[in-house]
Structure 1
Amino acid sequence: MYISLSDRGGKRAKPQGAETALPSGVPFRLSPVIVWLGIVSMVTDVSSESVTAILPLYVTGFLGLSTIAFGFIDGINQGASAIVRIAAGWAADRSGHPKRIALAGYGLSMVARIGFLLAGGFWAIAAIVTGDRIGKGIRTAPRDALISVSAQPEHLARSFGVHRMLDNIGAAAGPLIAFFVLLMIPNGFSTVFVVSLAFAVIGVAVLGLIVPDVRADGLPDAAEREGRRLFAFSWSHLKEPGLGKVLIAAGLLGLVTIGDGFIYLVLQARDSFAVQWFPLLFVGTNVVFLAFAVPMGRLADRVGKIPVFVGGHVALLATYLLAASPIGGLATTVGCLVLLGAFYAATDGVLAALASQLTPPGKLATGIASAQTVVALTRMIASAGFGVLWYAAGASSAMVIAGALLGCVVVAVIFILRGTSPANVVNADA
């Protein structure tokens, strides 16, 4: 299996599944494409995370809706993007211009931001969140495909880590902005929505005007056009050696991964801190994420992506158990934020890098999108289910149950992924 890696200067091919250790002597060079995509993600995350940080309070406090209602909305927030992820990945592969597909997704999310200024009820909020998340579903796989073809194969996970680091600077800044807005303007949710829209516009402008339209294949024009005519999406395209096991594992883990908002609501309910401090919980998690993103990427390139991915879910398990403990206070809260940030650093970019290495050329965005779709769908189910579980059993008991289920799934995933690695897949194909 091969992937063309063209960085606007020379072309070189490398077995896509081969894991290359860092001591190979190849120096790390960061593509400008990845930097600009990181900047786009950074300002877009300021937009999205400023809203996400206030959404639990906005829904359950300002609008007075139940945790079941929030669980439904958070489920949409987690999983609505799955509706279009594979289709968007396929469109990016077929067109050979993933930037164009990504731009459409960023644009849709920008338009959805306008709706937050007008909505005030459950169904309106649900519809707007759906539109925003569909935009995310359209843009994510094409964007990650651009990262993959622009990165050095020897430093693939590290390149994703750099992007995620830039992304999470915005993810930390967004809730921080929301915090200051609510601190200065009590119930200033509409002001947060205006700020969110402004940053979304900036992100679309940077992507459209500055990010180059890197092609995702490197095929000669004639062969490229012929390949476009012959390639039609089929679910069999996802039955690549190793990729199926990764999809199963990611799906099982997603079923026991609840939304961050619920974890923060558990902490807030236990310690009863003032609501204006609530957005800082998102800030803390994202600061840890951006601090760990590159080191986790380097670790995944060195020791393997699967061990790091599974280890990230062990950190999530520790988060659940710590949040459910009767011991409150600042230390416990900070511990939860550190563990949760480490979980994201060890799983988000690492899963995309792993999927890209297990996917053949011509189907790169589709393969990445398939992994992201499985995660989004299962996390949507998890959030909706946890909302009902909280309502029935209470916050701490629901968290303990979620932790027990996650522990069982982690053990099962270790057995499922045993013997699976990109290098082994390539050797089997050779």
Structure 2
Amino acid sequence: MSTTQRKPLSRDVIVLGWVSFFNDVSSEMIYPLLPLFMVAVLGASATSLGWVEGVATAAVALLTAWAGWRSDRFRKRVPYVRLGYGLPVIGKGVLIAAVAWPLVLVGRTIDRVGKGIRSSPRDALIADTTTAADRGRAFGLHRAMDSAGAVVGVLLAAVLLWWLTGTPTKGGALAQKEHAETAFRTIFAVAAVLGLAAVGFTFALREPPHEETPHAPAATVGGVGGLSSAYWKVLALLIVFSLANSSDTFLLLRAAQVGLAPWEVVLAYALFSFVYTIVSYPAGVLSDRFGRWPMIALGWVIYAVVYLGLAKTGAVAIWPLLGIYGVYIALTDGVGKALLADHVPRERRGFAIGLFYMATGVTTLISSVIAGELWDRVGPASPFWFGGLAAAAAVVLLVIMRPWRRMELT
């Protein structure tokens, strides 16, 4: 089907795009500053940072399968989406008041609990309202809106950081702990207020009509009825790669460690988000036309190259490496979800996508803790050697297995 013949994407896909846009404006004002806040203001170690991000991701892992199963069973996606976007506002409130890194852990966990509740029902809602021919395009648009919000969020954070601290130089006001702390907490407060806009947009969502499927086996939390062998092969390969994929906060900590000032770290992250934004939608469209696996394989290769580059880089190279990293995310994030949805019947999608989040959440916890320990015990370059080589091994496994030759769409 040519692009000109395609029908417009559904209303819910568009609304969810705006929900994610405003949520990411809010969240990404905080995300690039969080490792700097923890290490420079609260005195946390890289290992503590690894635990915060790992446990927060594990919170997503513990809830996504349950939320997906519930939304499948009761055929209600929207309430879980709304609650999932509401909880992060509370989590940001905890961050504003945090005086020690364990409170950051609490705030991030509340934020990620919200993500765990919303992610599977949201992605299932996108899949429910699209056909297989347009699914990559729909997920690509959603990721593009999400990452556009990230660009706006990090740029807004950079402007506020400059405004609150004066001329942005490495030896300037951010070198003073108390001044930096005031700036960070003010930005967190602005982000919390903006997060309410995302919640407001969820009230424009509508549940799609559902076909009756009385003879379909019931999915349960303890069972996996209706999930094909093709789905499990896809999931297994995505899990293997996720063992190499620690939290992105280590990229930002690396940027600061090699000499970037805090405002430069934020702008470098904005570059990553900008590239992610402009590539996400075309990547989804290309995956509809040429297949999901070629996009994912290329993304994994890019990840390995970027991580190995970060292991050896100086301050100047951080900028292009983070830009290229945005291409990796665009090629794998939305396309990976579309690939999973392709191999699962509609009445199992929430649960199936939830299993993906759960499994990769556990592996991200493991990889993030490993990255933190390597940083503290071996050196700042070591997490990137580990991640780059592990990703390269995943690419080799993908080439050996060649899953695209044996999998048929559901």
Pair in the same fold by TM > 0.5: yes
Aligned match for 2:53, one of 58, 61, 74: 74
Q: Distance in 2 between matches of 1:28 and 1:396?
A: 48
Cα shift readout 1:95-114 (whole Å, capped 9, x = no counterpart):
11101111121122222222
TM superposition shift of 1:415? 2.7
TM superposition shift of 1:89? 0.2
Q: Distance in 2 between matches of 1:227 and 1:410?
A: 36
TM superposition shift of 1:420? 5.4
Corresponding residue for residue 343 of structure 1 = 328
TM superposition shift of 1:153? 2.6
Identity %: 27
Aligned match for 2:305, one of 293, 298, 318: 318
Corresponding residue for residue 298 of structure 1 = 285
Corresponding residue for residue 272 of structure 2 = 285
Corresponding residue for residue 192 of structure 2 = 197
Q: Distance in 2 between matches of 1:92 and 1:341?
A: 31
Please tell me the residue identity of whatever aligns with 1:356: A
Q: Distance in 2 between matches of 1:420 and 1:107?
A: 42
Please tell me the residue identity of whatever aligns with 2:133: E
Is the CA contact (8 Å cut-off) linking 1:250 and 1:374 kept in structure 2?
Answer: no
For 2:360, what is the secondary structure of its paired residue? helix
Cα shift readout 1:25-60 (whole Å, capped 9, x = no counterpart):
742422221111100000011111111111010011
Aligned match for 1:183, one of 150, 162, 166: 162
Corresponding residue for residue 415 of structure 1 = 400
Q: Distance in 2 between matches of 1:335 and 1:65?
A: 28
Aligned match for 1:382, one of 348, 354, 367: 367
Corresponding residue for residue 246 of structure 1 = 234
For 2:111, what is the secondary structure of its paired residue? helix
TM superposition shift of 1:123? 1.4
TM superposition shift of 1:369? 1.5
Cα shift readout 1:157-198 (whole Å, capped 9, x = no counterpart):
011101111111111111212212221223211111111111
Is the CA contact (8 Å cut-off) linking 1:176 and 1:280 kept in structure 2?
Answer: yes
Is the CA contact (8 Å cut-off) linking 1:105 and 1:137 kept in structure 2?
Answer: yes
Q: Does 1:60 align with 2:39?
A: yes
Q: Does 1:308 align with 2:295?
A: yes
TM superposition shift of 1:402? 2.4
Structure 1 unmatched runs, 5+: 1-21
| 1:29-428 equivalent positions in 2, closer than 5 A | 29-186=8-165, 187=180, 188-208=183-203, 210-215=204-209, 217-219=210-212, 232-237=220-225, 239-270=227-258, 272-326=259-313, 328-330=314-316, 332-419=317-404, 422=407, 424=408, 426=410
Q: Distance in 2 between matches of 1:280 and 1:362?
A: 42
TM-score (norm 2): 0.90
Query: Closer, same or farther in 2 for the Cα pair 1:232/1:378, shift >3 Å?
Result: closer
Query: Closer, same or farther in 2 for the Cα pair 1:67/1:329, shift >3 Å?
Result: closer
Q: Distance in 1 between matches of 2:185 and 2:256?
A: 23
**Higher deviation after alignment, 396-405 or 377-386:** 396-405
TM superposition shift of 1:359? 0.8
Is the CA contact (8 Å cut-off) linking 1:178 and 1:192 kept in structure 2?
Answer: yes
TM superposition shift of 1:280? 1.4
Is the CA contact (8 Å cut-off) linking 2:275 and 2:327 kept in structure 1?
Answer: yes
**Higher deviation after alignment, 126-135 or 404-413:** 404-413
Q: Distance in 2 between matches of 1:25 and 1:279?
A: 38
Query: Closer, same or farther in 2 for the Cα pair 1:76/1:233, shift >3 Å?
Result: closer
Cα shift readout 1:197-247 (whole Å, capped 9, x = no counterpart):
112111111102x122224x332xxx67x979x654443337412111111
Is the CA contact (8 Å cut-off) linking 2:85 and 2:199 kept in structure 1?
Answer: yes
Q: Distance in 2 between matches of 1:24 and 1:265?
A: 41
Query: Closer, same or farther in 2 for the Cα pair 1:307/1:380, shift >3 Å?
Result: same
TM superposition shift of 1:125? 1.1
Q: Distance in 2 between matches of 1:289 and 1:149?
A: 25
TM superposition shift of 1:325? 2.2
**Higher deviation after alignment, 195-204 or 389-398:** 389-398
Q: How many residues of Structure 1 are paired with residues of Structure 2 in the alignment?
A: 394
Q: Distance in 2 between matches of 1:260 and 1:167?
A: 16
TM-score (norm 1): 0.86
Corresponding residue for residue 12 of structure 1 = none
Corresponding residue for residue 10 of structure 1 = none
Is the CA contact (8 Å cut-off) linking 1:160 and 1:349 kept in structure 2?
Answer: yes
Q: Distance in 1 between matches of 2:71 and 2:370?
A: 33
For 1:207, what is the secondary structure of its paired residue? helix
Q: Distance in 2 between matches of 1:322 and 1:377?
A: 26
TM superposition shift of 1:78? 3.3
Please tell me the residue identity of whatever aligns with 1:141: S
